[in-house]
């Protein structure tokens, strides 16, 4: 099972307790008061990390996108109350603000990171914020020059694989490895918000693990609810990433497909429980089960009134709980034996009852 460390010493391993990332993205809506509440709530929900997205109106879209005024989510298309450029500018987070959020995370004991969209943002995250990893968004998996630039920082890279063919994933991994960086984590991801269940293909987690056995494999979830990330944990996902909001009805891009605090707490607990329940491939009868044997298993019991001196037939005996007497496997050992004394109906047969 693949196992790697983040730069803060956190160990992430397939089939171990999953590392849960609350993807804040732009769900802070540019409001740092809201961002702080999101961080505090993510910590309270049991998340291991909060992740922002580092972009400005100059690093995420070209002029054409702003001219087309094209909004990614269906429910925000064809708006006339604001432009895409206005909302991108409003929802972006400055370096100063991002650094303040990283300090808050350090203060309360939750990991902090972000997805950069330019080399300058990579430099700030790696060199100033000292993040334990950099998350590369699915849209940049085929941005091989960008991947090589990040790799040269010699920082762990979490790489989302949405939008990409397996050959593109392999080329992305090779691009990072060629820079001498082997600290790679891969996330199975479907970049649809939300995806149809039949399109999620969680078994791709197993495919990625087979193709890249040296790297932990996780899951970046865009589905509604907690069932799918919980199932991913059952497949040994080492990382679970889920969008996080305080209110699904809040204005913004990703709130509707995000987990709210109630769901996120349920998700972290469910993933932890599932991972514990996976246990070992070795068959183990635990101490509690052994103690239950006496109450749950059966003993050899008299099926009717039995008299001393009679030779026991199978019809004279039956099997009932509790398991404090002779076990069922001894039934045919005592058939044909003589009774040393009378035995009442429904009484457990003792060894002393037999000659």
CATH label, 287-353, candidates 3.90.1210.10, 3.40.50.720, 3.40.366.30, 3.40.50.300: 3.90.1210.10
Provide the residue ranges of all domains of the chain, joining segments of one domain with +: 3-56+92-278, 287-353
Contacts of 198 (CB under 8 A, 6+ apart): none
Q: Residue 110 CA to chain centroid, in angstroms? A: 17
What pLDDT, on a 0 to 100 scale, did the predictor assign at position 345? 98
> Which residue stretches of the chain have pLDDT < 70?
66, 70-81
What pLDDT, on a 0 to 100 scale, did the predictor assign at position 74? 44
Own/partner pairs for 95-100, CB < 8 Å, 24+ apart? Answer: 95/124, 95/128, 97/32, 97/35, 98/52, 98/54, 98/124, 98/129, 99/128, 99/129, 100/32
What pLDDT, on a 0 to 100 scale, did the predictor assign at position 243? 97
Total count of residues recorded for the chain:
355
- Enter the CATH code of domain 3-56+92-278: 3.20.20.70
pLDDT in tens, 86-126: 777 788 899 999 999 999 999 999 999 999 999 999 999 99
What pLDDT, on a 0 to 100 scale, did the predictor assign at position 78? 52
């Amino acid at each position: 099972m693949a196992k790697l460390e983040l730069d803060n010493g956190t160990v992430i391993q397939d089939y171990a307790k999953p590392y849960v990332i609350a993807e804040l993205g732009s769900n802070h809506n540019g409001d740092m008061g809201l961002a702080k509440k999101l961080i505090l709530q993510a910590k309270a929900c049991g998340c291991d990390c909060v992740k922002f997205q580092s972009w400005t109106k100059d690093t995420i879209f070209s002029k054409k996108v702003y001219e087309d005024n094209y909004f990614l989510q269906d429910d925000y298309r064809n708006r006339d109350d604001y432009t895409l450029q206005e909302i991108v500018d409003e929802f972006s987070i400055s370096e100063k603000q991002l650094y303040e959020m990283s300090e808050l995370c350090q203060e309360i004991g939750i990991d902090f990171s972000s997805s950069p969209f330019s080399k300058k943002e990579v430099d700030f995250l790696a060199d100033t914020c000292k993040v334990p990893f950099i998350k590369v968004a699915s849209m940049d998996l085929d941005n091989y020059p960008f991947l090589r630039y990040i790799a040269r920082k010699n920082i762990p890279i979490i790489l989302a694989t949405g939008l990409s063919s397996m050959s593109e994933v392999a080329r992305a991994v090779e691009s990072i490895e060629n820079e001498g960086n082997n600290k790679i984590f891969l996330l199975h991801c479907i970049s649809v918000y939300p995806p149809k269940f039949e399109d999620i293909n969680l078994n791709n987690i197993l495919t990625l693990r087979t193709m890249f056995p040296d790297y932990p494999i996780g899951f970046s979830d865009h589905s509604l609810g907690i069932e799918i990330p919980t199932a991913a944990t059952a497949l040994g996902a080492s990382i679970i990433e889920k969008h996080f909001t305080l209110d699904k009805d809040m204005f913004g891009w990703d709130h509707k497909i995000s987990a709210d605090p109630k769901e996120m707490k349920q998700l972290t607990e469910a993933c932890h429980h599932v991972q514990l329940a996976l246990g070992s491939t070795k068959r183990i009868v635990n101490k509690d089960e052994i103690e239950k044997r006496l109450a749950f298993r059966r003993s050899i019991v008299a099926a009717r009134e039995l008299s001393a001196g009679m030779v026991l037939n199978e019809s004279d005996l039956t099997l009932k709980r509790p398991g404090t007497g002779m076990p069922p496997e001894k039934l045919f050992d005592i058939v044909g034996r003589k009774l040393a004394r009378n035995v009442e109906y429904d009484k457990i047969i003792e060894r002393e009852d037999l000659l």
